[in-house]
Structure 1
Amino acid sequence: MNAQMILKQLMKQAGSGSGSRSSGGNDLKGMVDSLSSQLSGSGSGSGKSGGQSGGFDPKQLLGGGALGMLVGSKRGRQMGGKALKYGAIAGVGMLAWKAWQNSRGGSGGDETREGKPVEQLEANQQEERSLELLQAMIMAARADGHIDGQERAMLAEQIDELGADDELHQWVEQQLQAPLDAEALAQQADSPQAAREMYLVSVAIIDDQNAMERAWLDQLATALNLDDALKQELEQQAVAS
């Protein structure tokens, strides 16, 4: 599979989204709202040039749309500024490491025991970690139960457009249909650092004002054995990023 390539592209999209929001360039909330309305059937037309609102092509959203689909495709969801935590995905490894240090009073950490940030891993390890993080993101996107069959198909298509190979495509399809199980997801974490990153990307995807999504975060934090101090630090890093 080529999960690390897909994750890197999502991180790049997230970095572009975070920069656009802070510079006032693109209206990301408007983009997401526009995409959401089209997914719910209010748009018209089809194809790359059709179904647009105000000349907006959904595929322009964060350079391909996969990340936008993950955070913005839920029907009836009100996407406020707190939900658009793209920076947490763009710098997931280092931000998760920083959150851990902050929770320990700023002391350094042992990468041998804790695990390295995803950005610093060797190729094989990075591939494994990328799968873990993609799985966490997909589970988080499904947490409110509003991704239907059509939206699952569209998300899979967007990930394919990022260059997913056949094996990864089949894996994504499986994740989109698998039962939501925080314990099973947590078992995929290969280190304490991986657990922190999995929680951070979940926070980035989820709207914590939604009761079902908040409940998923709490279940995942428990399954990942994150203490309250670390959990709070990770959530603060997501908001501040």
Structure 2
Amino acid sequence: MNAKGILDQLMKQASGKSNSSGGFDAQQLVKGLSSQFGGNSGKEGASSGGFDVKSLLGGGAMGALIGSKRGRKMGGKALKYGAIAGVGVLAWKAWQNRQTSGDSAQEGAPIDDLDGQAQEQRSLEILQAMIMAARADGHIDDSERQQLGEQIEALGADAELQAWVEQQFQAPLDAEALAQQADSPQAAREIYLASVAIIDDQNPMERAWLDQLAAALELDAEMRAELERQALGAAQG
């Protein structure tokens, strides 16, 4: 499968416009989201040069998932999408901010420091986390699933990956099963952070999913809070 290539494109889309220091440009993201979901709310896929959330995952695949969240209020919470662009770095920073002792070697490596099959597997875990988070409110119907499949195919995903994506929609939402994919504390943090970036924390069903996932990943309250702070702060890079 070519999961890492797809995740790379998603990260580039989520990063919006880089500023001169290489950080995340919050103003660009807010401006783009305001245009896409505010002034152009009746125009699917409209673009004025700003950040087009409908184009996430190359050509709109993740945008199809995000767009399925009927009635979602964007505004400030939309800044969390920036966390997708640096999920590995932000998850590692969360550990650095919270740890008082411990061996970093036991934490596992951020996704960007992996290679080969290990990186591909971590990419699948993050994509799976994002898909499950998008499904948590129960509002993805058959037509939206078909749209996602078409976008993935247009992106150039191989047949194996397309089948894998379809499987994610057929499988029950199972926080324990997702958590079992994590092979290290760093992987667990990246899975949770990617989920935080997608969910609307004002939606009870989605918040309940995060609670289940955190418990399955064995993340304590302090680490959860730190990861969520990292997600909200990503756009301030």
Contact (CA 8 Å) 2:200, 2:206: kept in 1 or not?
yes
| Aligned counterpart for 1:200 among listed residues 193, 197, 215 | 193
Write the distance in 2 (CA, Å) between the matches of 1:83 and 1:24: 8
Are 2:24 and 1:31 aligned?
Answer: no
Q: Judging changes above 3 Å, is the alpha-carbon distance between structure 1 residues 14 and 24 closer, same or farther for their aligned structure 2 residues?
A: closer
Are 2:230 and 1:237 aligned?
Answer: yes
Write the distance in 2 (CA, Å) between the matches of 1:218 and 1:17: 32
| Aligned counterpart for 1:119 among listed residues 112, 118, 121 | 112
Write the distance in 2 (CA, Å) between the matches of 1:73 and 1:134: 17
Contact (CA 8 Å) 2:175, 2:216: kept in 1 or not?
yes
TM superposition score normalised by structure 2: 0.85
Residue by residue, what CA displacement relative to the aligned partner does 1:38-57 show, whole Å, maximum 9, x if unpaired?
Answer: 6xxxx6xxxxxxx666989x
Are 2:126 and 1:133 aligned?
Answer: yes
Per the TM alignment, residue 67 of structure 1 is displaced from its structure 2 partner at its CA by 3.1
Match of 1:88 in 2: 83
Contact (CA 8 Å) 2:82, 2:231: kept in 1 or not?
yes
Amino acid aligned to 1:219? Q
What is the count of residue pairs matched by the alignment?
226
Amino acid aligned to 2:118? Q
Write the distance in 1 (CA, Å) between the matches of 2:109 and 2:47: 44
Match of 2:62 in 1: 67
**Which runs of structure 2 are paired with 1:6-17 in the superposition (5 Å)?**
6-16=6-16
Per the TM alignment, residue 70 of structure 1 is displaced from its structure 2 partner at its CA by 2.9
Q: Judging changes above 3 Å, is the alpha-carbon distance between structure 1 residues 108 and 13 closer, same or farther for their aligned structure 2 residues?
A: farther
Per the TM alignment, residue 137 of structure 1 is displaced from its structure 2 partner at its CA by 0.4
Q: Judging changes above 3 Å, is the alpha-carbon distance between structure 1 residues 22 and 75 closer, same or farther for their aligned structure 2 residues?
A: same
Q: Secondary structure at the match of 2:183?
A: coil
Write the distance in 1 (CA, Å) between the matches of 2:25 and 2:96: 29
Q: Secondary structure at the match of 2:74?
A: coil
Contact (CA 8 Å) 1:17, 1:28: kept in 2 or not?
no
Per the TM alignment, residue 169 of structure 1 is displaced from its structure 2 partner at its CA by 0.2
Per the TM alignment, residue 28 of structure 1 is displaced from its structure 2 partner at its CA by 1.2
Q: Judging changes above 3 Å, is the alpha-carbon distance between structure 1 residues 75 and 14 closer, same or farther for their aligned structure 2 residues?
A: same
Amino acid aligned to 2:36? M
**Which runs of structure 2 are paired with 1:180-219 in the superposition (5 Å)?**
180-219=173-212
Write the distance in 1 (CA, Å) between the matches of 2:53 and 2:223: 36
Let me know the Cα RMSD of the aligned residues. 2.6
Residue by residue, what CA displacement relative to the aligned partner does 1:205-239 show, whole Å, maximum 9, x if unpaired?
Answer: 00100000000001000000001111100000000
Write the distance in 2 (CA, Å) between the matches of 1:109 and 1:66: 38
Match of 2:21 in 1: none
Write the distance in 1 (CA, Å) between the matches of 2:158 and 2:205: 32
Write the distance in 2 (CA, Å) between the matches of 1:196 and 1:209: 21
Match of 1:76 in 2: 71
TM superposition score normalised by structure 1: 0.84
Match of 1:46 in 2: none
Write the distance in 2 (CA, Å) between the matches of 1:121 and 1:54: 35
Q: Judging changes above 3 Å, is the alpha-carbon distance between structure 1 residues 59 and 164 closer, same or farther for their aligned structure 2 residues?
A: farther
Write the distance in 2 (CA, Å) between the matches of 1:100 and 1:91: 14
Write the distance in 2 (CA, Å) between the matches of 1:55 and 1:104: 43
**Percent identity between the aligned chains?**
64
